[in-house]
Amino acid sequence: MSKIRTAFFCQQCGYESAKWNGKCPSCGQWNTFVEERVQKDIPGKQQHDWKNNDGPNGRTQKIINLSEVITNEEKRLLTPDNELNRVLGGGIVAGSLVLVGGEPGIGKSTLFLQNALQLKNIKILYISGEESEQQIKMRADRIQNSNDQFYLLTETSTQTIFSEIKKLQPQLVIVDSIQTLHTPLIESAPGSVSQIRETTAELQRFAKESNIPVFLIGHITKDGSIAGPKVLEHMVDTVLQFEGDQHYAYRILRTIKNRFGSTAELGIYEMTGTGLRQVTNPSEILISQRDDLLSGVAIAATMEGLRPLLVEVQALVTQSVYGTPQRTATGFDLRRLQLLLAVLEKRGGFHFGVKDVFLNIAGGLRVEDPSIDLAVLCALLSSYEDTAIANKICFAGEVGLSGEIRAVNRIEQRIAEAEKLGFHKIFISRYNKKGIDLSKFNIEVIPVGRVEEVYQQLF
């Protein structure tokens, strides 16, 4: 009788140790090691394979020279959801393994259920380990869509799941969620590090050998990272992050990793009573429609991946009541805000050291593009002077430590987006003028080189 092997795993990062440790040597967390049975001896059962053969098509793999490999163009399955196609790099790649993470209740299950119901011409298997058939049916009725090729399976054992897959022969598999699955090869609780790693490995082998794409919906931890070992993200082909504020109707689908496309793409959705609606022109929803001119508001021409966006920056500068001035930023890096305040204090002579400063990116969006610096700076100056910036003016430029306005990438796309939305002027860095033809734009482009120039032209 073989001995069952056990090991200790860190529940935060998946680090494996032969003995218990108080502090994880990998991630530095305390009291996170749990003993788990690593391998369970099953007589007569071939382990580490989703089907009983030696490899794909029942043959043993052999070493091959790189020059002998025949490459074909990736076959992609286009979904009716253009936003999902964009973040996947142009559609679903056959045999790919895609991991989707997000906050509870953000809409992960709704997004993939409605996409599965819209794919009418392929056979889809939706595996749920968290909800019953009746709950999924209720959500499908709310989405108001149906598909005769859509099949449900409420099961958590991978042995049963692969048995049903062989009978149905689906063309797309969706697993909700990977943390609920368990394999009989590992004797530990579902959701543990070893179970997540082994079940994902089985699904990976299945996807590569059968050439069937698999979507894995995953939980996240309280710090926002995907639950389970970090190796989970290394094993899959694509990692998507579904994020958004529960108090806002808008959701953002970001690409964290993609072996078949760019990682700089994102899709924007609006949560409605009948599911998620694609937002084709996000700039219009991120800019509030107002009639009165208000101080402390500036419009930034930013880029999210390859998509130009115009977002509204709101700033409030008030006299500090307490000894230490407050600095609060929502949707913007607080350290970057402190840097811009220091630039205004040093290079412009504005006394922000005795002021409370509050900054907000409207619409619940979080922006990391440095080109938003100029709009943030102008919003701060507008609130400081209590003077509104004229309508139909936007900004695109990075601010350096010496007060210079630095050039940003894809400036022509930003100008074109501002012109499309009816803006009359756009402030850019004078270093961006080189190599672009301003005569093809109907919008007035104002090049600036220093913070002082911006202040003189606006106020």
Per-residue pLDDT of 434-446, as tens digits, reads 878 878 888 999 9
91 among the known binding-site residues? Answer: no
Q: For residue 203, what are its two tokens?
A: 């699904």
Contact 23, 30 (CB under 8 A): yes
331 among the known binding-site residues? Answer: no
What's the CATH class of domain 284-458? alpha beta
Return the half-sphere exposure (C-beta side, CA atoms, 13 A cut-off) of residue 458. 35
Q: Using the predicted structure, report yes or no on whether residue 134 has a pLDDT greater than 70.
A: yes
**Amino acid (one-letter) located at 241:** Q
Burial class of residue 216 (count of CB atoms within 10 Å of its CB; 0-12, 13-18, 19+): buried
Q: What is the mean pLDDT of residues 273-279?
A: 87
Q: Which residues pair with 182 in a beta bridge?
A: 157
Entry pTM: 0.74
CA distance 435 to 180: 54
CA distance 399 to 370: 8
CA distance 96 to 203: 10
CA distance 300 to 379: 10
What's the CATH class of domain 76-280? alpha beta
CA distance 182 to 189: 8
107 among the known binding-site residues? Answer: yes
Q: Using the predicted structure, report yes or no on whether residue 244 has a pLDDT greater than 80.
A: no
**Model pLDDT, residue 53:** 41
Q: What is the 3-state secondary structure (H, E, C) of 370-393?
A: HHHHHHHHHHHHHHHHCCCCCCCE
SS3 label, residue 345: helix
**Model pLDDT, residue 58:** 47
355 among the known binding-site residues? Answer: no
End-to-end CA distance of the chain, in Å? 84
**Model pLDDT, residue 51:** 64
Cβ neighbours of residue 293 closer than 8 Å, sequence gap 6 or more: 388, 389, 390, 391
CA distance 456 to 459: 6
Q: Using the predicted structure, report yes or no on whether residue 423 has a pLDDT greater than 60.
A: yes
Q: Using the predicted structure, report yes or no on whether residue 12 has a pLDDT greater than 80.
A: no
Q: What is the mean pLDDT of residues 312-332?
A: 90
Q: pLDDT class for 289, splitting at 50, 70, 90?
A: low
Q: pLDDT class for 312, splitting at 50, 70, 90?
A: very high
**Model pLDDT, residue 290:** 66
**Model pLDDT, residue 348:** 84
CA distance 267 to 279: 8
Q: pLDDT class for 29, splitting at 50, 70, 90?
A: confident
89 among the known binding-site residues? Answer: no
Q: For residue 435, what are its two tokens?
A: 């190599």
Q: Using the predicted structure, report yes or no on whether residue 124 has a pLDDT greater than 80.
A: yes
103 among the known binding-site residues? Answer: yes
SS3 label, residue 87: helix
Report, in angstroms and rounded to the nearest whole number, the Rg of the chain calculated over CA atoms.
Answer: 26
Q: Using the predicted structure, report yes or no on whether residue 45 has a pLDDT greater than 60.
A: no
Q: For residue 20, what are its two tokens?
A: 């218990």
At residue 11, φ and ψ (nearest 5 deg) are -75, -10
**Model pLDDT, residue 59:** 47
Contact 36, 9 (CB under 8 A): yes
pLDDT higher at 249 or 29: 29
102 among the known binding-site residues? Answer: yes
325 among the known binding-site residues? Answer: no
Q: For residue 26, what are its two tokens?
A: 């990998």
